[in-house]
Structure 1
């Protein structure tokens, strides 16, 4: 049984009706993964659950060498283009407080961003498309990815050859969806252009001179300087980035001291900044260093500033986004498809795939039964809930996009990612590389 069995799925298209037949199995897989969440690049139990669910579908399966990824390739009934469909699989280091009967059994780890649902929906799509393979002109690559939350699993998968099949065939386009408790269930939210912000990191260490708390005039106290830097950074954002260029800088941790009567030697700040353009990204990056060094110098101190580069922006190809909109309307009904009014400041490493091939990423609404869209706990909350009825819509959407694209819709996919101007990675890589051994039932070591 689903969360409350309200049956919020829209009127059935052919694909949606078939997806609903698979829903009990999709929900069961989602709950299995939800109970035993895993964090990072090494997800052996999740990987094994995926392999068991894909067994018998006639797919060519490859495991990652350095992470617990799964890549499964479906050959259609005749030659054609190649589409990649992606799901991330990893959880978050967070204690679950949902009260669900299938809540996490792993202390301090939770699927709070819906990756369990993403994985189950993509398995459902693999089952449905496998049953319809005679209708497909081309190939579908199912990408099951670890480590979206913890530094990026997409790039290592690309480096292991994700975008080039063993016979040299290049992936032509890519699609992913992200479940969202905030939006009405079974709705799809799309936009061309920038979908997700670039997500970069901030680490600042203020270096003072320690001493007794009763004599602050004899030491260099880094704590108030760190606090001043936090405030000054917010002013910097509003005074250096244009009002029509969204930018967010948030300091999320402050660490200093070991005892109530000792002024510490250092104070450490960390956080993130999010931008939608390379120009504002550069402005914020330069401003952080300038402000932190300036504030510290004004108090006779120094700082160490580290700004590790995170995920780039997710750029939805306009033509492929139009295909997704059309496919979603056909599968779920036009009233279920909405244009996103603006980009989101979240970050996503599917951006690395979309740097190399055209494609799109969309949101799938899954507001839980009885909830009011926009008011319920959202992704990354320890109380987030999703309407499991929406998983059928997600399965159908994956399949509708695949069938539309492989039947000739959207972009010109004849060239693959090689030679497609504008889809070269910023590091110059073209997505080629060695793949793990392609086997029918892969070994389960899955990387380290």
Structure 2
């Protein structure tokens, strides 16, 4: 049995209590002020220096007794605008706000890692940074950590997320996924606005309608995915909103189409961006109207570096044992972790919490979401083991 896992087990009650405290007092993205305060209280007790970042983030730094590289560990802290229906005794006391994605667990595991490592300075060859990050759900928090200098001088970065299953693969408590390459999709929101000339519904020839061209554009959109993109490359284009007009007998001057786009490969992303602009303009030109396309970057695709993932996989074997690693399908959901990967190589793991006996079977963002808290010691130990193993690498 891993000595690091033993150390995590020794403080398991502390990790669970902290996680439950955050769970009872969830806060939305960018508003995690109480959460930030609680984290700083615990860091003060541990004697780990820190600084505030962004609206409600914390960057803590633990230097070992030996010089060396710098590794960063990340845990997010924000909750969701949902009403909790999990039935747990420590349910949210904040109506309409719920830790339904497990960020309370992520923050608690990272704090647990800080607590374990604070007693191991003699074993740390370098520096460990702990990113308690706000605003993952809005893809804003990682940027705030970077802007505050959190990634300056960092050689590798590591993060994780609880997961019960994906595709046909169940990820039970005590199992994990750690796979190199693309693991999560990038996400863009694309706003297309057509502008014509309003007029009376009885005389459309005297106006320039936008509803009809907008509808043609929507039906044309999937042709971009099928005719411009390598079929081996996943791409998702979903129209979540289409709006135009004010009354049945008024020709609509404006029509708007809002598109959510998911992708993995950067070249595919660029190809689709250009194709959307091209198709929108062609349709607008055909109907003698104007069109404006605005592309809002939400998150980048997440790519696990092979070298860092290999180190993390070896760390995971020490914690979980042999035969506990599974390979989930690539996930079309998005994360802001890749913004750290722009500044240093990194890896991201999925930790299993599926436990039918405890009713820990719900996917994140479900109103009955609950984790198996046995997961917490594994995540804490994995953070610690990876940090030590990476810093020991020459």
TM-score computed with the length of structure 1 as normaliser:
0.79
Structure 1 residue 402 and structure 2 residue 390: aligned? Answer: no
Flag the 1:28–1:265 CA change in 2: closer, same or farther, 3 A.
farther
1:59 corresponds to: 48
Determine if contact 1:202/1:305 at 8 Å carries over to the other structure.
yes
Structure 1 residue 359 and structure 2 residue 346: aligned? Answer: yes
Determine if contact 1:58/1:74 at 8 Å carries over to the other structure.
no
CA shift for structure 1 position 46: 1.2
Determine if contact 2:164/2:354 at 8 Å carries over to the other structure.
yes
Instruction: Please give the alpha-carbon distance, in whole angstroms, between the structure 1 residues aligned to 2:335 and 2:99.
Output: 16
CA shift for structure 1 position 371: 7.8
Larger RCO (alpha carbons 8 Å, 6+ apart): 1
Instruction: Please give the alpha-carbon distance, in whole angstroms, between the structure 1 residues aligned to 2:274 and 2:219.
Output: 17
Q: Please identify which structure carries the higher strand content.
A: 2
Flag the 1:334–1:289 CA change in 2: closer, same or farther, 3 A.
same
What SS does structure 2 have at the residue aligned with 1:39? coil
Structure 1 residue 345 and structure 2 residue 332: aligned? Answer: yes
Matching of residues 425-440 of structure 1 within 5 Å: none
CA shift for structure 1 position 68: 1.4
What SS does structure 2 have at the residue aligned with 1:186? coil
1:328 corresponds to: 316
1:103 corresponds to: 91
Instruction: Please give the alpha-carbon distance, in whole angstroms, between the structure 2 residues aligned to 1:318 and 1:121.
Output: 24
The equivalent position to 1:135 in structure 2, one of 119, 123, 133, is: 123
CA shift for structure 1 position 259: 6.1
Q: Deviations over 1:124-172 (max 9, x none)?
A: 11111112222222221111111222142212221221123xxxxx222
Matching of residues 21-60 of structure 1 within 5 Å: 21-60=10-49
The equivalent position to 1:381 in structure 2, one of 339, 344, 366, is: 366
Determine if contact 1:34/1:104 at 8 Å carries over to the other structure.
yes
Instruction: Please give the alpha-carbon distance, in whole angstroms, between the structure 2 residues aligned to 1:220 and 1:242.
Output: 36
CA shift for structure 1 position 283: 0.8
- Aligned pairs, how many? 389
Determine if contact 1:222/1:266 at 8 Å carries over to the other structure.
yes
Instruction: Please give the alpha-carbon distance, in whole angstroms, between the structure 1 residues aligned to 2:94 and 2:106.
Output: 20
1:301 corresponds to: 289
2:179 corresponds to: 191
2:255 corresponds to: 267
Determine if contact 1:186/1:336 at 8 Å carries over to the other structure.
yes
Flag the 1:108–1:294 CA change in 2: closer, same or farther, 3 A.
farther
What SS does structure 2 have at the residue aligned with 1:30? helix
CA shift for structure 1 position 39: 2.3
Q: Please identify which structure carries the higher helix content.
A: 2
Flag the 1:214–1:50 CA change in 2: closer, same or farther, 3 A.
farther
Instruction: Please give the alpha-carbon distance, in whole angstroms, between the structure 2 residues aligned to 1:224 and 1:32.
Output: 53
Gaps of 5+ in 2: 166-170
The equivalent position to 2:234 in structure 1, one of 246, 250, 259, is: 246
Bigger mean CA deviation after superposition, 41-50 or 151-160: 151-160
Structure 1 residue 179 and structure 2 residue 168: aligned? Answer: no
Instruction: Please give the alpha-carbon distance, in whole angstroms, between the structure 1 residues aligned to 2:118 and 2:173.
Output: 27
CA shift for structure 1 position 264: 4.7
Instruction: Please give the alpha-carbon distance, in whole angstroms, between the structure 2 residues aligned to 1:43 and 1:213.
Output: 51
Flag the 1:93–1:294 CA change in 2: closer, same or farther, 3 A.
farther
Structure 1 residue 152 and structure 2 residue 152: aligned? Answer: no
Bigger mean CA deviation after superposition, 93-102 or 193-202: 93-102
CA shift for structure 1 position 386: 1.8
2:168 corresponds to: none
Q: Deviations over 1:186-236 (max 9, x none)?
A: 211011122223222211123345567788777555445433322221121
Determine if contact 2:156/2:345 at 8 Å carries over to the other structure.
yes
Flag the 1:398–1:251 CA change in 2: closer, same or farther, 3 A.
same
Flag the 1:94–1:318 CA change in 2: closer, same or farther, 3 A.
same
TM-score computed with the length of structure 2 as normaliser:
0.89
Determine if contact 2:61/2:130 at 8 Å carries over to the other structure.
yes
What SS does structure 2 have at the residue aligned with 1:231? helix
1:425 corresponds to: none
1:3 corresponds to: none
Flag the 1:220–1:101 CA change in 2: closer, same or farther, 3 A.
farther
Gaps of 5+ in 1: 1-11, 165-169, 413-448
What SS does structure 1 have at the residue aligned with 2:239? strand
1:290 corresponds to: 278
Determine if contact 1:207/1:265 at 8 Å carries over to the other structure.
yes
CA shift for structure 1 position 63: 0.9
What SS does structure 2 have at the residue aligned with 1:392? helix
